[in-house]
Structure 1
Amino acid sequence: MKGLPALLKKIARVRILVVGDVMLDHYIWGDATRISPEAPVPVVDIARDSWTAGGAANVALNIASLGAQCTLAGYIGRDEAGDRLGEILRTHRIAHVNTPGTAPTIVKTRVLVQHQQLCRLDREAAPPAYAVNAPDAATIFGAAIQACDAVVLSDYAKGILSNELVARVTKLARRAGKLVALDPKPRRQLAFRDLDLITPNKREALQLAGLEPVPHAPFPAAEVCARLHKLYATKYLVITLGEDGMLLSSGGKVIKIIPTAAREVFDVSGAGDTALAGLVLGLAAGASLENATHFANAAAGVVVGKLGTATVTPEELVAYVNQR
């Protein structure tokens, strides 16, 4: 990728606000060599535990890891998990704006045996417990929007992002001249329009377009892009295609497909967050859509080569690109 050092220098001056569903990712690492006598399930001998930021907090972590300044707005409970997540954010110099609520912090626990995920355990309250009233948006997010270069709306379908809140935050950002990006979850059916960027994966793009997946059929890229532009009028659309790379679209037309940069895939957890962070950072730093996508693609290529929810540093990214 040409011009990477110069782009990284510009990114170091960028400030991003991430608004969305915040959670703590917990990993239990161990081994299983026997079956329980109580039930036909493996007995896991736990070696260690690790914790990192998940959901919208992982987007923020990726932004900070790549050298930019980041503020995260989302709900963190007053509990042990919340304290642990707050410490992770402080360690990475991520400012946090807490949203109202009394629910526990969302925790996703993954049990890994010999580097393979055995199961996932979720701790979370009902989504309405996390809702933020739109009239509060100016008070909660106003100063952070004014101070940033771009706003990322990270939806994990847990309830922070409502139609009213998306509309209010988008209006505040537009008034301040900020770039607005959304990583949507189609099952939430959020109402949005005229954003700068949306970043669905292949399955989510089909859902947003109102199309059913057809087994063994090629991805209908042209139809999906045309439909999504008609429905949402987004300036840029980038669809992550997994092992097939990333599809770029503008004005309802397919611009090109950039092949995946991954050399080795160990774990795709959080790769979409890395791609979103890279795209927004690239665009906010003045890169073209294509160059921003190449940057995001390379960053995601590093992350999928790591186990667990992970991030990438500028040094890792430069080394990775130089080896290609």
Structure 2
Amino acid sequence: MISHSAAKSLLEKIAGLRILVIGDVMLDHYVWGDATRISPEAPVPVVDIARDTYTAGGAANVALNIAALGARCTVAGLFADDEAGQRLARILGEHAIATIPTPGTGSTILKTRIVVQRQQLCRLDRESPPSAYAIEPRKIVPLLAEAVRSHDAVILSDYAKGLLTDQLIRIVTRLGRAAGKLITLDPKPKRQLAFRDLDLITPNRREALQLAGIEPEPGAPFPAEEVCARLHKLYRTRNLVITMSEDGMLLSSGGKITRVIPTAAREVFDVSGAGDTALASLTLALAAGAPLPAAAEFANAAAGVVVGKLGTATTTPAEILAYVKK
């Protein structure tokens, strides 16, 4: 694990950074309650609601993680003029996160989770078709060009909802390269997006297999070397970090495995949003000048804190420093 002094030094550098997040923003709604009886209308539990809470989800949660770690952040995504969009914008504003509302015809994505005695009972999703979130190519450059230039790094956060398209990724990559900016992506294979020559991608184990076009055999070990080689050949990404849940993080550069970092989690309550934390902290550490292994150690510690919390969560510098000190 990263040392206390190294984490402290890195966090001090992170505090001066500005990060642009582009992707599928959403509002996470939690309904907390208890269930002690079965409905007489159907064999389902009756939930007595105690309270409702709201937080930023998807790409907006990546932005929340960046702000929580002390950096400044701007997030671009579809904030519709509806109750969910207004609430999401307020939440981000409370954390000093600037927003760039992108044009679109869809409603703000809303995910409602019913949680009973710390266990998620079900999830209710409200969203529009992918075409409703996409940005017309001619509108992308004037909307994002200055934002790309004025930030230290760009994160593309894909939740397969439709905002990220081949054209958008191609244009943002071109803008970022021209300005010398770090560009990272959390890809979703479902979208089959065309991307190349990025600085970092962060799929999980299942996503890495899908991106590589490998059908896993039941019970077979993860074919790490083949996956890393294929992903480098297909996407020419400079660095690859595969999040492996309880097996930690697998690091690769140039198609070769460079390191496997064991998980830092001491207790796991909820993995919701842990991928957002890993993406945000990896990008911040790399933008602060850390080499990939040090950045991954830092991200591993940050994710270790977050999975010990219930619901979509973030971590702070103080929590990370206390965590690594133990």
TM range (shorter): over 0.9
How many equivalent residue pairs?
A: 323
> Counterparts of 2:178 and 2:136 in 1: how far apart (Å)?
20
Counterpart residue number, 1:157: 160
1:215 aligns with 2:222: no
Q: Distance in 2 between matches of 1:47 and 1:89?
A: 25
Write the distance in 2 (CA, Å) between the matches of 1:160 and 1:197.
20
Task: Work out the CA distance in 2 between the residues paired with 1:142 and 1:105.
Answer: 24
Q: Pick the aligned partner of 2:125 from 122, 126, 137.
A: 122
Shift of 1:252: 0.3
Cα deviations by residue, 1:142-179 (Å, 9 ceiling, x for unpaired)? 11101101000000011100000100011001100001
Q: Does 1:317 align with 2:320?
A: yes
Query: Partner amino acid for 2:241?
Result: V
Matches within 5 A, 1:160-171: 160-171=163-174
Q: Give the match's secondary structure for 1:93.
A: coil
Q: Give the 3-state SS of the residue equivalent to 2:74 in structure 1.
A: strand
Cα distance in 1 between the residues matched to 2:244 and 2:176:
29
Structure 1 residue 50 and structure 2 residue 53: aligned? yes
Counterpart of 1:300 in structure 2 is 303
**Structure 1 Cα separation of the partners of residues 10 and 167 of structure 2:** 35
Match of 1:283 in 2: 286
> What is the deviation of 1:200?
0.3
| Aligned mate of 1:79, from 82, 86, 100 | 82
- Give the alignment partner of residue 178 of structure 2, picking from 175, 179, 188: 175
Alignment partners' CA distance in 2, 1:222 and 1:139: 41
Secondary structure of residue in 2 paired with 1:30: strand
Mapped pair 1:89 → 2:86 = no
Q: Which of residues 134, 147, 150 is equivalent to 2:150?
A: 147
CA–CA distance in 1 between the matches of 2:304 and 2:269? 11
**Gap runs ≥5 in structure 1:** none
* 1:246-288: CA deviation from partner (whole Å, max 9, x where unpaired): 0000000001110000000000000000000010000000001
Cross-structure match for 2:252: 249
1:105 maps to which residue? Answer: 108
3-state secondary structure, aligned to 1:9: helix
1:267 aligns with 2:247: no
Name the residue aligned to 1:194: 197
Aligned partners of 2:256, 2:105: CA distance in 1, in Å? 45
Note the C-alpha offset of 1:242. Answer: 0.4
SS of corresponding position for 2:28:
strand
Letter in 2 for 1:207: Q
- Tell me how far 1:103 sits from its aligned partner: 1.9
Q: Deviations over 1:5-35 (max 9, x none)?
A: 1110000001100000000000000000000
RMSD between aligned alpha carbons? 0.6
1:133 to partner: Cα distance = 1.4
SS for the counterpart of 2:267 is coil
In the alignment, structure 1 residue 25 sits paired with structure 2 residue 28? yes
Distance 1:131 1:83 in 2: 20
Partners of 2:162 and 2:198 in 1: how far apart? 20
Query: Which one of the candidate residues 241, 249, 269 is aligned to 1:238?
Result: 241
- Percent identity over the alignment is 70
* SS, match of residue 39 in structure 1: coil
Q: Output the CA distance in 1 between the equivalents of 2:217 and 2:236.
A: 25
Q: Supply the AA of the counterpart residue of 1:218.
A: P
Question: Counterpart of 2:48 in structure 1: which amino acid?
Answer: D
Distance 2:190 2:83 in 1: 30
SS of the equivalent of 2:105 reads coil
Partner residue of 1:41 out of 16, 41, 44: 44
What is the CA-CA distance between 1:135 and the residue it aligns to?
2.1
SS at match of 1:151: strand
Is there any run of 5+ residues in structure 2 with no aligned partner, and where? Answer: none
In 1, distance between residues paired with 2:318 and 2:135? Answer: 38
Amino acid at match of 2:114: V
| Counterparts of 1:135 and 1:169, CA distance in 2 | 13
Structure 1 residue 88 displacement after superposition: 0.4
Q: Deviations over 1:231-253 (max 9, x none)?
A: 00100000000000000000000
Q: 1: distance between equivalents of 2:218 and 2:267?
A: 26
Corresponding residue for 2:65? 62
